[in-house]
Amino acid sequence: MEEYVKLKIENGIGTIEFYHPQSNSLPGNILAKLSSTITESGKNNDIKVIILKSAGERAFCAGASFDELISINDTASGKEFFSGFANVINAARKCPKFIIGRVQGKAVGGGVGMASACDYCFATKFASAKLSELAIGIGPFVVGPAVERKIGTSAFCAMTINAEKWFDANWAREKGLYTEVFDLVDEMDAQVKKLATTLSKSNPEAMEELKKVMWVGSENWDTLLMERAERSGKLVLSEFTRNAIEKFKTK
């Protein structure tokens, strides 16, 4: 299958699904489509609540595309690529509808950022999470504010520093990244549908006002995340990072 971002609208529920053959990694075109689809869904009166999910079974999102990272050759293109993650997070936080995350498998880097940008996140026991950026010589600068807001400074620092460690789904639930964790995908999907159906019948104005309250303190993220994107764009040009990415690609 080829990569895609799809939107399905049914009974007031807008389901955004993305896919990439490399464990649902995120090249720039997928990031751009995700941010625009989230923004458009927020403006669509037929949608009362959004579900964000990926295709496949054991990989929710592998984060940044290594092929695209290694092709970055100047600071401008580096900033442009990482701004894609900033745009997705900012689109999610500014979207007037609640976003329910469905994390069926492992989440890495930008995938952890996407889960953090959701307002309520379901997961399976297979949804281990890792912030692997330091292992390739950069850092989770762009997704950092969203992750830290969700799990707290101490847990964020632990994930950032121990960049090669997989933190299991129960740890992520205890820290607040996931709200509920299930043994089976079918069990998770039943609860995703149940909550989405309930919210689709709730007062849109109340939900919009609640979301504004929940995201208080993030008003400067349009600027902050772009500054972080520029920082990442510079670091990705280092010889250390290029060598590290090549090693990861050959594993």
Q: Is residue 143 part of a domain?
A: yes
pLDDT class for 251, splitting at 50, 70, 90? Answer: low
Query: Is 240 domain-assigned?
Result: no
pTM of the predicted model, to two decimals? 0.96
CA atoms in the 13 A half-sphere facing the CB of 8? 9
- Has residue 205 been placed in a domain? no
Q: Is the predicted pLDDT of residue 39 greater than 90, yes or no?
A: yes
Q: What mean pLDDT comes out for the span 28-49? A: 98
Percent of the chain with pLDDT over 90: 93
Distances (CA, A) of 45 to 39, 88, 195: 12, 21, 19
Asked whether residue 36 is assigned to any structural domain, the reply reads: yes
Measured distance CA(238)–CA(63) in Å, rounded: 19
Distance CA 47, CA 41 (A): 7
Q: Which domain holds residue 159?
A: 4-185
User: How far from 184 is each of 123, 157, 221, CA to CA, in Å?
Assistant: 9, 30, 36
Residue 233 lies in a domain: no
- Do the domain assignments include residue 109? yes
Please report the pLDDT score of residue 55 as a whole number.
98
| CATH classification of the domain holding 124 | 3.90.226.10
What would the pLDDT profile of 53-102 be if each residue is shown by its tens digit?
999 998 999 999 988 998 999 999 999 999 999 999 999 999 999 999 99
For residue 247, what pLDDT band results from cuts at 50, 70 and 90?
Answer: confident
pLDDT at 23: 96
> Structural domain tally of the chain?
1
Question: In degrees, to the nearest 5, what angle opens at C-alpha 35 toward C-alphas 157 and 31?
Answer: 70
Taking only the tens place, the pLDDT of each residue in 110-147 is 999 999 999 999 999 999 999 999 999 999 999 999 99
Q: Is residue 91 part of a domain?
A: yes
166 in a structural domain: yes
